[in-house]
Amino acid sequence: MRYPLKYTKPNLEDGIFDWTGEFTAPMKAFLDAHGFIRFRKFATADEIATLRAELKRVETEWVAEEREFVNGIPVKYGEDENGQPMVNRFAFFSKFSPWMHEFLKDPRWEVVRRICGEDFRIGEHEKDGVVVNHYVNTEGSNYTKLGWHTDALRDIFYGKLVPEPMWNVGLSVTDSHAAQGALRVIPGTHTQGLLPMLFGKKHFVSHDDDPREVMVETDAGDLTLHDGRLWHRVGLSPHVGEKSRRMSMYIPFLNGDVLEKNEDSKTPFYHRFSRAIR
């Protein structure tokens, strides 16, 4: 798998912008060329504090009731640094948080939707819904890192021979720097063909450093967008316990057919497969 001809690896500083509610020509040029972008201070400190409280509330409820699935999607559990049960991956989080459901109606998200495309929508009740990944480097955690993958694989498992456009819109619930593992992407790979998108790396199994990758570091409240066809991963924190904690929320922006999920929905094969991958 190689970069497209004439591709130049970006200067990361060129892809960092303060959130102003506008999507300018330089922003679009960077996103189109490299497949990712970062906006600083999208959410306020008070909103992030409320979001963390909501996550803790829902986690407590799920642990108490031993919830295994949401709309057919498995809840991934682990243990924190104190050996206590924790949710490593929330699916359809906004279904259990009225506050989050209302937050998605904020006009800021309409700007994000238009960045993705006029025919896109928030997939609050589709695929895995609003997802929150909670990484912590402990012996009992089931999310310490995440291997290389593209989201095109998920569409293949959903029966789509041609992966549909999808944007990963990520809100940082905590800081996500090198100390927490951080998001890593291979810029420019969103323009690759289907075969390298599916077979350029071993999905989820490969964690190796790549000379082409860049680290997208964020602060709590920052927003990132990256094309789902881009190769990306989450690194392993060099720390153990609290210093390694990384929480990120992903809001799916989709187009195409609307396929909403409910509690009777079947578990997709790729989720049954991924439960065996730590």
Interval 97-155: pLDDT, tens: 999 999 999 999 999 999 999 999 999 999 899 999 999 999 999 999 999 998 876 66
Q: Which of 2, 5, 28 is nearest to 15 (CA)?
A: 28
Q: How many domains does the chain have?
A: 1
Q: Assess if residue 2 is contained within a domain.
A: no
Q: Assess if residue 260 is contained within a domain.
A: no
Q: Assess if residue 120 is contained within a domain.
A: yes
Q: Assess if residue 6 is contained within a domain.
A: no
Q: What is the pLDDT averaged over residues 4-32? A: 90
Contact 158, 261 (CB under 8 A): no
DSSP strand pairing (85-90 vs 131-135) = antiparallel
Q: Which of 53, 48, 23 is nearest to 218 (CA)?
A: 48
**Burial environment of residue 257 by CB neighbours within 10 A (0 to 12, 13 to 18, 19 or more):** exposed
pLDDT number for residue 266: 85
What residues make up the domain containing 240?
14-255+266-274
Interval 158-180: pLDDT, tens: 555 555 567 889 999 999 999 99
Q: Letter for the amino acid at 198?
A: L
In this structure, what are the phi and psi dihedrals at residue 195, rounded to the nearest 5 degrees?
-65, -50
For the chain, percent of residues with pLDDT exceeding 90: 75
Q: What is the CATH number of the domain that holds 206?
A: 2.60.120.620
Q: Could you give the count of Cα atoms lying within 13 Å of 252 in the half-sphere of its Cβ?
A: 25
pLDDT number for residue 155: 61
pLDDT of 45 higher than 70: yes
| pLDDT band per the 50, 70, 90 thresholds, residue 6 | low
Q: Assess if residue 205 is contained within a domain.
A: yes
Q: Assess if residue 261 is contained within a domain.
A: no
Compute the mean pLDDT over every residue in the chain, rounded to the nearest whole number.
90
